[in-house]
Structure 1
Amino acid sequence: MPPVRLKEGIDMDELKGDGSFFELQDFNPKDMPVEEYFDDADVYKYYSTDTQGEEDASDDSDTDSQLTPFAKLARKMKDITTDQDKGVLKDMLRQGTGNVLPSDAFVTVHYNAYLEYSDEPYDSTWLRSAPVRFSLGQGEVIAGLELAIASMKVGELSKFLVTPQYGYGKFGCPPRIPGNATLLFRIEMIKFVECGGVNQFYRMTHAQKKDAGFSLIKKVALKHRQDAKEHFEGGRYVRAAKAYETAVKCLEECHLQNSEEEVEQQKMLLHLYINSAICQLRLNHHVRVLSYCHQALDIQEQNVKAFFLKGKALRLMGEFSRARTFLCKAQRIAPNSSDITKELEKLAQDVKNFRAMEQDMCRKMFKHTVSSPPEGAVTDESRKYVGSEHAQTKTELTGCSDDFRNLVFENLQSFKDNKELMEMPMPSSGFTAEEAACICDLAKILGLCVRKRGEVN
């Protein structure tokens, strides 16, 4: 029942007394605002004349004119019930391909559902832009809808009449579906996954799952892969990632009986690893991308997608040198790939921008000019480092000016004297080779530990 309005508001002080009573305002359900869920133009696309009997109006005899629209429609339809009780009738509008669905398939369908004399659908997956997905044989939908879908093939478009005993019965489903309502469904079969035994798999104990055969594990993995694909296409990347992860775990933990099963398992895992990497890339989980790509390359050493995704993730992580390595490997395998070419162009631009940023940082770090060399630095007379056991002449550091050496010396000495600092990161680019060598040598002179960050592929 819709809500009703009080004639007068509630006084909380009166409620605290001996008692209160309420009077209701005269109520007319028609006065209630109607919530619009869909655009009128969209709803109009799915109007059905079958619910009005308009298509048969010109051919009606005197007897037929007394029939309801659904009764007229039923004359052209085929009974698909086991008992032939005309509880579910079918009229194929477009043929499908392949075999009829298995009784326990996991299906994806679009449908519109209508009531008699109502040309607008009371329910529509097309209007929601979201097909419905469920497993046959599990009681997830009304019996008539499940029976209808079980009679279809992929790509088929059919309409079905479902009587109350196969629908919502004598009570209906208020407020949209009245009691004893016959329903009209217009259904398109999009796709299905054969997943016999999948539901039973999840009722098994952990030990039973480990002993399950590869054929069953394969069905479970395919179902989760299908779930992941649909989540990914819908932009639900977190759910897609979890579904891919579940499919991977099922395959990785299964017991294989022979080499044929191992080949098929590895092929499926390779596909899942690549898709998982793509999904993690959308979530900006770059380390996970590298992990999945590494697993894919363990199966197929020259997988161009794994090289490409790994290179892209490394670029986004700022590991430009490693990124170039893997992108170049991908380009050698697929030299005409526009995606790889574009990624290399992005990498070149990122390197250029990063170097400009580092040079600016260097200028800020060494912004003060020293008029005279600090104690222990190189002098014009000696051209040697004072106090160094490994004295070097200026000619050994061609391209490194005295001012630069003295500025570096000052900054390193300041770092050494600061007991609160344990590390002084230096940029990996922005210096010439001679300047980098100068920094390392001065650090060693001051007794500082120089550590270069290694590259681990």
Structure 2
Amino acid sequence: MSENIYDKEELMLEDPIGLSDLMTGTKFTLRSNYQEDDEESELFPELQTGEDGVNLNTEDFISPWNKPFAELIPSMDKIGMNIYKKIVKHPIDNESIVGRRCCVTISYNAFMEHETCPFDSTFMRGSNLTFVTDDEAVLPGVELAVKSMGRKEESQFIIPYKLLYGELGCAPRIKPKADALFVIQLIDFSEAGDEEATEVVSDADKRKYSYMIDKILEVKTNAIYHFRQGEYLKAASAFNRAINRLEMCNLINEAEEIEQRNHLIKLYSNLMTCYNKLDKPKQVCTAFKELGRLTETDRNPKALYQFGKAMMALGDYNAAIAALKKAKRLKPDDPDIATQLRVLDEKHSKHKEMESKLWRKAMGNCEPTFAEKSFEVDEKFKKEVDDLVTSFQNKPKESKVNVPDGLSKDEIDFIKDFVKDFKMKFVISEVHGKKSCYLTKTGRFL
């Protein structure tokens, strides 16, 4: 599963008249063709226009089968629990089938026998249904049907009443002992994992690596699931739980030590990503330090990238630049690292400009400095000038220092601007046809 790493309560709120309501017996706002007195009826006008007033194509909601279900079943395959299935569109990956604790997103139409209009439909509501399997979030027959499906598959299911609404049904929409035809499209799914997998374990077993590792990986899968949902705090909590349980395990041989270390490296790297998403750079640094116990962080581009982001957030631009440049050397074509370096360069430039303004204000110099002017000089030249001025400033007994000749106009202008804040003056003199350049200390601002 990829680690370049969505909330159940919210999901159920998006299903006001859906499967969860049917299962719990919520009072419905839609009408079915079924009435207690068998009175003929039709869909309400608001359903024909959709919840947002958008006209719907009624052909999208017509049942694919208006004859007795008994005549459809022979063309279907039995998948267990008296559920029958007919594949309309095969999945894009026959090896990938919904399993235990998967977050699935489906669209569906559900029809009673002999009825042409659905009694329930995600298409009418204009939103898909997302739920986690094994959470008892939907009708058991629907969950069993979905668990037989692959990604992008569309299938028809005849589901018996015992796995739907029971013997009594749910008047006025659902008849007693009502089997139903569900036409389901599986849009996507991913493993959700189980954050509590490591908790229902005896104290003795919690120390056994071979027993705990599968449960720890369930917690890790749950963390990745929360991360993909944008629930970074929950993700960080799950990653921390997985780390703590993994580090508690007793290891019996070198193979377990190597495997544990590799799992911890991935967990700490992912935890750093979560903390950056939560804008907690100090926690990123702590995780980076822990990672350093396990591996050479200078060879981990993902960790270096996250550490660089954290140091930038803390304002340590030199450390951020160093980390990101190391990451770029390891992954030179990574677009995220390149983008972060550009962002860092912009922030660093703005920081230096602000710092320069503050110094000028403190010293009473309101003239713009080199940081605000554009000179055609490279970074190496700037550093050489900076080193020369710093060295000259630290030698109070010296009043003059030579500067190499042959400078361009931009280089000369740069030096003149640079030395103003240091009470120095850049002088170019010519005596008997011989040209010389030097810096002098003026004792005052020019």
Residues 76-115 of structure 1: CA deviation (Å, up to 9, x unaligned) = 2122235xxxx3111123155238777xx22333332513
1:243 corresponds to = 238
1:395 corresponds to = 397
C-alpha distance in structure 1 between counterparts of 2:58 and 2:242, whole Å: 39
SS in 2 for 1:171: coil
Note the C-alpha offset of 1:269: 2.2
User: What amino acid maps onto 1:74 in structure 2?
Assistant: I
SS in 2 for 1:180: coil
2:339 corresponds to = 342
Note the C-alpha offset of 1:75: 3.5
1:275 corresponds to = 270
Query: Do the aligned partners of 2:268 and 2:287 also contact (CA within 8 Å) in 1?
Result: yes
Question: Percent identity between the aligned chains?
Answer: 24
C-alpha distance in structure 2 between counterparts of 1:150 and 1:166, whole Å: 14
2:145 corresponds to = 148
Query: Do the aligned partners of 2:110 and 2:119 also contact (CA within 8 Å) in 1?
Result: yes
2:291 corresponds to = 296
Residues 362-383 of structure 1: CA deviation (Å, up to 9, x unaligned) = 23333399xxxxxxxxxxxxxx
SS in 2 for 1:318: coil
Residues 168-203 of structure 1: CA deviation (Å, up to 9, x unaligned) = 2023356764543323331528456597x9977533
Query: Do the aligned partners of 1:51 and 1:115 also contact (CA within 8 Å) in 2?
Result: no
Which stretch shifts more, 267-276 or 283-292? 267-276
Note the C-alpha offset of 1:237: 2.1
Residues 1-48 of structure 1: CA deviation (Å, up to 9, x unaligned) = 979xxxxxxxxxxxxxxxxxxxxxxxxxx9x99799854659759934
SS in 1 for 2:110: strand
Note the C-alpha offset of 1:335: 2.8
Note the C-alpha offset of 1:311: 0.9
Residues 135-171 of structure 1: CA deviation (Å, up to 9, x unaligned) = 3xx7564332343344445665432111111212023
1:352 corresponds to = 349
User: What amino acid maps onto 1:225 in structure 2?
Assistant: K
Aligned ranges 1:188-203 → 2 under 5 Å: 188=186, 190-191=188-189, 193=191, 201-203=198-200
2:132 corresponds to = 133
Aligned ranges 1:8-87 → 2 under 5 Å: 38-39=51-52, 47-50=60-63, 53=66, 67-68=67-68, 70-81=69-80, 87=82
C-alpha distance in structure 2 between counterparts of 1:183 and 1:225, whole Å: 38
Note the C-alpha offset of 1:330: 1.4
Which stretch shifts more, 240-249 or 302-311? 240-249
C-alpha distance in structure 2 between counterparts of 1:200 and 1:357, whole Å: 51
User: What amino acid maps onto 1:365 in structure 2?
Assistant: A
| Structure 2 unaligned residues grouped into runs of 5+ | 1-25, 29-41, 367-393, 402-417, 424-446
Note the C-alpha offset of 1:305: 1.1
C-alpha distance in structure 1 between counterparts of 2:71 and 2:98, whole Å: 29
Flag the structure with more relative contact order, 1 or 2, with Cα contacts below 8 A and sequence separation at least 6.
2
C-alpha distance in structure 2 between counterparts of 1:109 and 1:78, whole Å: 23
SS in 1 for 2:340: helix
C-alpha distance in structure 2 between counterparts of 1:124 and 1:98, whole Å: 27
Aligned ranges 1:205-224 → 2 under 5 Å: 205=202, 207-214=203-210, 216-224=211-219
Note the C-alpha offset of 1:308: 1.3
C-alpha distance in structure 2 between counterparts of 1:292 and 1:146, whole Å: 39
Instruction: Give the TM-score of the pair, scaled to structure 2.
Output: 0.61
Query: Do the aligned partners of 2:191 and 2:225 also contact (CA within 8 Å) in 1?
Result: no
C-alpha distance in structure 2 between counterparts of 1:335 and 1:122, whole Å: 52
Residues 216-244 of structure 1: CA deviation (Å, up to 9, x unaligned) = 43332333333333332232222222232
User: What amino acid maps onto 1:359 in structure 2?
Assistant: S
* Residues matched between the structures, number: 331
Query: Do the aligned partners of 1:193 and 1:222 also contact (CA within 8 Å) in 2?
Result: no
Matching residue within 307, 314, 329 for 1:317: 314
Query: Do the aligned partners of 1:51 and 1:119 also contact (CA within 8 Å) in 2?
Result: no
Instruction: Give the TM-score of the pair, scaled to structure 1.
Output: 0.60
C-alpha distance in structure 2 between counterparts of 1:253 and 1:312, whole Å: 30
Query: Do the aligned partners of 2:102 and 2:190 also contact (CA within 8 Å) in 1?
Result: yes
Distance 1:319 1:124, change over 3 A: same
Aligned CA RMSD, in angstroms, stands at 4.2
User: What amino acid maps onto 2:397 in structure 1?
Assistant: T
SS in 2 for 1:92: strand
Note the C-alpha offset of 1:296: 3.3
Note the C-alpha offset of 1:318: 0.5
C-alpha distance in structure 1 between counterparts of 2:105 and 2:261, whole Å: 34
Distance 1:236 1:189, change over 3 A: same
Residues 278-303 of structure 1: CA deviation (Å, up to 9, x unaligned) = 22211111112222233334333110
1:285 matched to 2:280? The reply is yes
Query: When you count strand as a share of all residues, which structure comes out higher?
Result: 2
Distance 1:188 1:306, change over 3 A: same
1:97 corresponds to = 94
Distance 1:347 1:142, change over 3 A: closer
Residues 319-352 of structure 1: CA deviation (Å, up to 9, x unaligned) = 1111122112212222333332332222222222
2:363 corresponds to = 366
C-alpha distance in structure 2 between counterparts of 1:353 and 1:227, whole Å: 40
